[in-house]
Structures are given as C-alpha cells and as structure tokens.
Amino acid sequence: MRILWLGHNLAYPPKGGPLQRNYNLLREAAKEHEVHALLFDQPASRPKGVTPQDCVEALSKFCASVDWVPLSTDSFGVARYWRAIAGLVTGMPYEFRWLRSKEMVVRLQRLVSRVQFDVVHADTLGLSPYVPLIPHAGTVLNHHDIESALVRRRASHERNFIWRAFWLQESANLFAAERRWCPAFDINVVVSEDEGQLVKASCADSTICVVPNGVDVQYFTPRPDPGGARLLFCGRLDQLANRGGITYFFQSIWPELSTRIKHLEIDVVGKNPPAWLVELSQRDQRVHVPGFVDDVRPYFQNATVFVCPITDGGGTRLKILDALAMGMPIVSTTFAASGLGLCDQQHLLMADTSEAFTNKTVQLLSNRAQRVQLASVGREIVMSTYSWEVIGERLREAYLAASAKRLRNCPSS
C-alpha cells in the first residue's frame, strides 16, 4: 500500500516522546508499505546542530519521499498569545490554529496529484482538517495522548484563576474537536486501552486500535547491576509533566531520601533544565544536571535505580520502557506507569506519596536481589510486548483495517 504520513514534527532524532514514537513507527510502516512523509518542522524539537535536512536524510533511508513545511515558532511570544486569545473567541483549539498553513495545503495537493494513496495517517488531532484533501484513502488518526483529558488535568492543577479558566475552555474546545473528528476517521490509534476508553467515552462510534509506545530493544540492552546509590531521571525538562515530576521529587522526596542514604547521587538528564535545578546542582554536588545528551545509555549503565515521580500528563511514559529495556529497577508513581500493563512488585515498585516513594527507593537501593529480579522480569515484558517490531505489526494491521473499511464504504472508488 501507499501510505501518506502527515506529521507535526520531523521525527528525528528519535530521542524521547513523539519523536521516538514517530521515527520508529515510520520505519516499521516502511518495512511493508511505500511511505511518503509530509511533515511540519518544529525548530524547538530539534537538538542544536540538527538541521531539517539532517532529518530528511535520516527518514529518506526508509521513506519513499520526505517533504517538510516550516512551522511557526512555539516559543512564548506575542504570536502564541494571539493564537490562544483567538481560540477563546472562535472555539478553535490552539493546536488547530498552530498547525494551519497555506503552504502545507499547497504541498499536500501537489503530492496527492502525483501519488494515489491507500491510507493517510494524521499524527495528531490538529492535522485532521488536512485529511479531507486526500480522496478515496483510508484514514488513521494517531493520538499520542487524549488532548482534552490532558488539558483538563492541567486545569485541575492550575492555581491561577485566569489560567485555570483558559485551560478549562481549551479542554472544552478540544473535546468538541474530538467529537467532530474522531468518528470521521476509519481507525483511531491510541497508545493504551485506558486512552482508548477515553475516546470511546466521548466518541462511541470511533473504531479504536491500540498501538503502544515502544522501545528499541537493540539499542537499549540490559546492563549489569552497578551497585552503589545513584538515581536517574530522564525526560525533556521543558515539558510540563516532566518538570512537575522533578519539582515534586526535589521538594517532597529528595530531602528525606538524601538524609537516609549516605553517598546518594542523582542524574537528571533532559533538555532545558529549569534554572532552579541548575542552581541546586551547583550548590549540591550530589545532584548532576547534564542537560540534553546524545546518548543516555551511559547514565542508565551507571545508575542503580530509575525514578519516575510524574503525576500528570498524557499518553504513556517511554522513559519507563527505556529503563526496563536496559534492565533497570524502577520506582514510579502509579500514574507514571499507567497504560503499560505493569504490576507493582513484579515489574517495578509503585509509590504515590512522598513517604512511600522514599521508602521504596531506600528498599531497592538496599536490596540487590530485588533489583536483579525486577530488572529480569521488566526486560521480559518489554521484549514480548513493547519492542518496535511487535508494535509495528499492530500499526500495519491498523492500516490494513482502515483501507479495507474505506473500500467497503466506497466500493466504486
């Protein structure tokens, strides 16, 4: 089949979040299908020194064609605020306004005029308005998370009245957009059964296919337990859920934990660390904040326990899968592990209060046998369920289902 992938990022390098998912799913789709990628470039998603052409060259190794359109910067500035205000007036969610582009329409029409597609894959809800421009193709809408629910949770945690009112309205706008667009697609792809239920709750007529987040099990391979007392957290630190999680950790967990464990250290790895965290690392030699790194595996190899104190966000946490693939014992909140089918005490340890998180981290740091057991079972579930090869087959099945559904509905096309 010929697949058109409409994306909101250039899917390279595959390091964290949507970039990691998109790169690997594109590669898996291309194993059996002819994939053409038409993508927006988000400069903020590219590491320093990585150009759009670098991304095109990387994707062109397996895609039949790769084209891209510049996207308005997503920095906090006047344009961003105007888009937000306009959304309050028009009822159009921010993402839809952000992803509107006349140039994208021109590039899309040009591509469709020369290639007849069997399936079009829209990689986020805000790209839905482009899909009617591709006639006679099966349609797949990918959800990295369920955006109305994600923004609603954000509103519930917001203390400022004005911002809380804004996020509640944005959530309502997104919910309305989901009700409009999700049933219009032949297949809605979600990352977990939990998120599928969220779609079904608002759009009962939508057809759901679970294509989980995954991990490159050839890249992330098990390491021997290094002993010691070194913790690790990984994740983009300009991302709201990650920043909130690490703030919670240092405010509510670290003071007691660092008192109870002698010689305790922690690496906090991720792009754009907040100023307070950098300042803390300068005052406290036990806290290391390297920022973005090209290869996170040496940090996994040196760490004794991976911590994931995240309490908010959407989708599922790829960082947990990376850690499991590396054979790392994990202490996580229940929320951070949600949607992954992991069991407390079997695959990792879960803790939802600062006291419990501290106690279970101390427990793991003190018990090598338990660390080794958790690491072994965790690696097994990654291999059987979350390798990209396994997940790629589920994506290809979704494409076949979308194409078949469209053919049934349009037998004369």
In order along the chain (413 residues), what is the average pLDDT of each group of 10 residues?
96 85 95 97 86 96 97 54 58 89 96 96 96 94 90 85 89 93 94 88 86 91 94 90 94 96 94 94 96 92 96 78 94 92 94 96 96 95 92 95 83 51
Are 313 and 195 in contact by the 8 Å Cβ rule? The answer is no
- Nearest Cα neighbor of 13 from 44, 58, 71 is 58
Please state whether the predicted TM-score (pTM) of the whole model is above 0.75. Answer: yes
| Intrachain domains 2-214+388-409 and 230-386 with the same fold | yes
What pLDDT does residue 75 have? 45
* pLDDT for res 294: 87
What is the CATH architecture assignment of 230-386? Answer: 3-Layer(aba) Sandwich (3.40)
What residues contact 198, with CB distance under 8 A and at least 6 apart?
146, 149
Read off the DSSP letter of residue 219: T
Domain boundaries, the chain: 2-214+388-409, 230-386
CATH class of 2-214+388-409: alpha beta
Residues 349 and 306: their CA atoms lie apart, in Å, by 11
CA of 189: how far to CAs of 22, 147, 200, in Å?
13, 14, 12
> In this structure, are residues 228 and 319 in contact, taking their beta carbons and an 8 Å threshold?
no
